[in-house]
Amino acid sequence: MATGSSELLEFDRQIFLDLLNEDGLVIMAKGLGIDRMILNFLKLYCNPKSFVLVLNTSNYQEEYFIEELKAHNVELIPKIITSQYSSIEREEIYLQGGVLFVTPRIL
């Protein structure tokens, strides 16, 4: 994953707006900036009014996105939810909203 700007290029911006306004699926070739796209969606949904589960990310991807969000001064940083949390603890975290990186095992 590339580090740096999360600013979207024109074609990225169009894809982002299309996905924001309509349901969709994006398939992008390596190197076309999918990390920028994901980062911008995460920035959009990192707030208590949203509830987003991000599945099947690697530790590296989770750390990368969390560091990028911190660098962009996002206030509600995603949490990484694993089986170390009890179901009661997970429920409390879910009710706080925002973006959560979760393993499919705990769903």
Higher pLDDT, 93 or 105: 93
Res. 59 pLDDT band, cuts 50 70 90: very high
* Cα 64 from Cα 48, distance rounded (Å): 21
Res. 1 pLDDT band, cuts 50 70 90: low
Within 10 Å of residue 74's Cβ, how many Cβ atoms? 19
Residue written as tokens 């390596």? 30
Mean pLDDT of 62-75: 96
Alpha helical stretches, state H, 10-104: 10-21, 34-45, 59-71, 87-95
Instruction: Please tell me the predicted confidence (pLDDT) of residue 42.
Output: 95
Cite the beta strand spans of the chain per DSSP E: 51-55, 79-81, 98-102
| Rounded (10°) angle between helices 34-45 and 10-21 | 50
* Cα 91 from Cα 87, distance rounded (Å): 6
